[in-house]
Amino acid sequence: MTVMRLLLATWILTRAALLLCVFKVFTVPGPDVTSDVSVIYHGWYEVLRAGSYPLDDVTWQYPPAAALAVLAPALLPFLEYASAFFVLVLACDALVVLLLLYASGRPGTRAAGGWVWVAGVPLLGPTVYARYDLMVTAVAVAALLAGVRHPRVLGALAAFGALMKVWPVLLLAGTARGRATRLSWSAAAVTAGGLLLAASAALPGAFAFLTFQRDRGLEVESLGALVFHLARQFGWEGRVELRYGSMEFAGAHVGPVSTLALGLSVLALGWLLVWRLRARTFAVHTPADAAFTAVLLFTTTSRVISPQYMVWLVGLASVCLVFRGSRMAPPACLVLVATGVTLLEFPLGFAHVVASDAEGVTLLVVRNGLLVAATLSAGRRLWRGTVPGVRTGREGRLSRAARADTPASAP
């Protein structure tokens, strides 16, 4: 009980600090992270209320259910748009804490997951409350925790989350073979189909985001962008432009590197498919471990690594660490450190990142290096824990010794 009270007290203090930042009682150096809500989201809100998706705005790159997050502040008509949005994100944050605390009361669980969430979210700074990604993460956390006993709920929530921001479809990667997979995947298909039909019938332009997302380039914070940050030190004459709502590199050789990043994502998908085919041991924590690994794979190899993406990883890491059997503690710790470095990179040091100076490049090398290390560690641990016959190091030596000491059976 004392631990839970301490956790809740920490949540209250840290979230009060975040609210003071987004309400501009305290000003965080760097770009104004709240302008996305007060300007961009509010503009989309007006377009959606007028009866259409934002067909003429290339910054609208989200699946149709994202409209629900943008329209949600209408639930609090007594507040102006941005204030209502921040309050709703706070409510989703509180919901995640309560879900993690409730789950930690089951046998075979622990409070570590709650601490990962409580500590990890404020490490991202005010950006985490000024984007709708935390809302999507709350859906993902609820899906994974509910999926322990209710595969259909996992599937339905995963589909709903995917129609808000695509990545929650990866929650289905680690469902146990047989009944759990049939129930969750079929529920996801039915839910997605129903929501897509409803969205396309309700408003025109439900699928406009596909074109805008396809045309995106190489964002300056991505892993592939490090090539050009370093090339700038040796005379590369490319430039940074605001395109599709983010700062992207433009110039010679950017296209091939962007294509290479897509190729890495394809390889990540290939690895995930091979793992799925070869995995045989599915424990209660496997869906969370697999989802965490899959999202790490696609985040790290993406052409875009926006700061708010880190809240996805913090949320999935927190679910992993609810389960005592999960082996994801080391990559989860790497993600927490990477989240803290992300705050230093954006918004605090973003001018240095755009300028590709020593400070900016160092921050990106450290943050992206931590993500690469977390991805490799998570993939290795997921593979070793689920694929039969994979034993290395001390575990393998003990296994061989046990076999050697076992007498052969009589013919």
Share of the chain above pLDDT 70, in %: 93
pLDDT at 397 over 80: no
pLDDT for 77 beyond 80 = yes
The partner residues of 109 in beta bridges, in order of sequence, read: 323
Mean pLDDT for the stretch of residues 25-31: 94
> CB-based contacts of 265: which residues, under 8 Å, 6+ apart?
297, 298, 301, 302
Arithmetic mean of pLDDT, 392-402: 43
* pLDDT score of 119 more than 70: yes
- Selection from 123, 159, 99 nearest residue 307 by Cα: 123
Q: Rounded CA gap, 98 and 216, in Å?
A: 37
pTM: 0.93
How many Å apart are CA 77 and CA 91, to the nearest integer?
16
Contact 235, 206 (CB under 8 A): no
Q: Which two tokens stand for residue 184?
A: 């969750």
Summarize pLDDT for 360-379 with one digit per residue, the tens. 999 999 999 999 999 999 99
Amino acid at 179: R
Q: What residue has token string 């005592």?
A: 324
DSSP count for the chain of H helices, then E strands? 18, 3
Give yes or no for residue 74 having a pLDDT over 90: yes
The whole-number pLDDT of residue 406 equals 31
Closest of 196, 198, 204, 194 to residue 51, by C-alpha: 204
Average pLDDT over all residues of the chain: 92
pLDDT digits (tens, 9 = 90+) for 162-200: 999 999 999 999 999 999 999 999 999 999 999 999 999
Q: Which residue has the higher pLDDT, 255 or 403?
A: 255
The secondary structure of residue 323, as a DSSP letter, is B
The pLDDT-based confidence of 392 (bands split at 50, 70, 90) is very low
Quote the CA–CA distance of 145 and 150 in Å, as a whole number.
9
Q: What is the pLDDT of residues 304-359, one digit of tens each?
A: 999 999 999 999 999 999 999 999 999 999 999 999 999 999 999 999 999 999 99
Least Cα distance to 122 among 342, 331, 334 occurs for 342
Who wins on pLDDT, 200 or 396? 200
Q: Cβ distance 266 to 329 under 8 Å?
A: no
Q: pLDDT band for position 56 (50/70/90)?
A: confident
For the beta carbon of residue 207, count every other beta carbon within 10 angstroms.
13
Sheet strand arrangement including 218-219:
218-219, 246-250, 239-243
The DSSP secondary-structure symbol of 217 reads -
> Which amino acid does the sequence have at 84?
A
Indicate if the alpha-carbon torsion angle 65, 66, 68, 71 is positive or negative.
negative
**Cα–Cα distance measured from residue 309 to residue 124, given in angstroms and rounded to the nearest whole number:** 10
What is the structure's pLDDT at 214?
61
Q: What is the CA radius of gyration of the chain?
A: 22
The encoded tokens of residue 354 equal: 């755009």
Name the residue with tokens 């590369």.
Answer: 236
State mean pLDDT over 35-57: 93
Residue 20 predicted with pLDDT over 60: yes
Cis peptide before 63 (omega within 30 of 0): no
Give the integer Cα–Cα distance in Å for 192 and 186.
10
- Give the residue-averaged pLDDT of 278-282: 96
Tokens representing residue 217 in the block? 């380039």
The distance of Cα 149 from the centroid of its chain, to the nearest Å, equals 23
Whether residue 92 contacts residue 133, with contact meaning beta carbons closer than 8 Å, is answered with: no
pLDDT at 27 (0 to 100): 92
What was the pLDDT predicted at 391? 55
pLDDT range class, residue 403, cuts 50, 70, 90: very low
